[in-house]
Structure 1
């Protein structure tokens, strides 16, 4: 295994961890948002948005390093686990683009039903985590579907 491949693989694993990790920190943060005053809620929502931003940028590195790994590994783009990873990745990009921002914007407005909005935010957070874990499964296990 070349040093180039090892470096790209390391960057890929690092960016995968950075793409998933921040969301696990947000799970207890949502619980704290239920009882926070409006000023504290604003800070917590800023932390939430920062975590989403980190995940987005880590996703860029993840995709780039994944493409380089596929090109240098000999796997075909039509290999089932590669194709399934790409499919789930596209779904997660569409989901991430719409999942959090509208709910966060509503939460910033005082007087909205915070409990209902936090329930929605929590559900979307777990859906996104599951999509990321599914991609991680495909990349690690490399199952053969066809």
Structure 2
């Protein structure tokens, strides 16, 4: 039997999939951009779409997480909640400060510096995925740190 809590939990899990999953498509897209100077608009638009999808799914993730904490009777100062929230805030800041400016620079740069920017963007994607996976570990394992 589905309860409100279970429905919110499934929405929360589905939003995690939408936040992390599509980010992995950025690797082949960035590889393609590295060697494609002309007609790169469709790849850049797809990258923007993936980042926007991840951003909006992240909002659903946070809202559903808040509801799960409230309905589940968890305390806001539990160590795993505090750490997951801090990491998600880092991920949001990282996404806003790093990805959009990097994509704008890729559009405007000549080929040599564009390749360097694309390689940096790949590193940023790895950092972003790492932050999200660590936050997910805290939510799943619920370690008691204090």
Instruction: Give the TM-score band, short-chain normalised.
Output: over 0.9
Distance 1:82 1:30 in 2: 34
Q: Which residue of 1 aligns with 2:105?
A: 106
Query: Does the 8 A contact of 1:81 with 1:145 survive in 2?
Result: yes
Query: Does the 8 A contact of 1:5 with 1:69 survive in 2?
Result: yes
Distance 1:37 1:115 in 2: 10
What SS does the aligned partner of 1:100 have? Answer: helix
Q: Which residues in structure 2 correspond to 1:1-146 (within 5 Å)? A: 3-39=3-39, 41-112=40-111, 113-146=113-146
Query: Does the 8 A contact of 1:80 with 1:144 survive in 2?
Result: yes
What SS does the aligned partner of 1:38 have? Answer: coil
The runs of at least 4 consecutive aligned structure 1 residues that moved more than 6 Å come to: none
Q: Normalized against structure 2, the TM-score is what?
A: 0.95
Structure 2 gap segments, 5+ residues each: none
Deviation at 1:2, TM superposition (A): 5.9
Distance 2:25 2:78 in 1: 34
- Give the length in aligned residue pairs: 145
Structure 1 gap segments, 5+ residues each: none
Query: Does the 8 A contact of 1:19 with 1:58 survive in 2?
Result: yes
Q: Normalized against structure 1, the TM-score is what?
A: 0.95
Aligned-CA RMSD value: 1.3
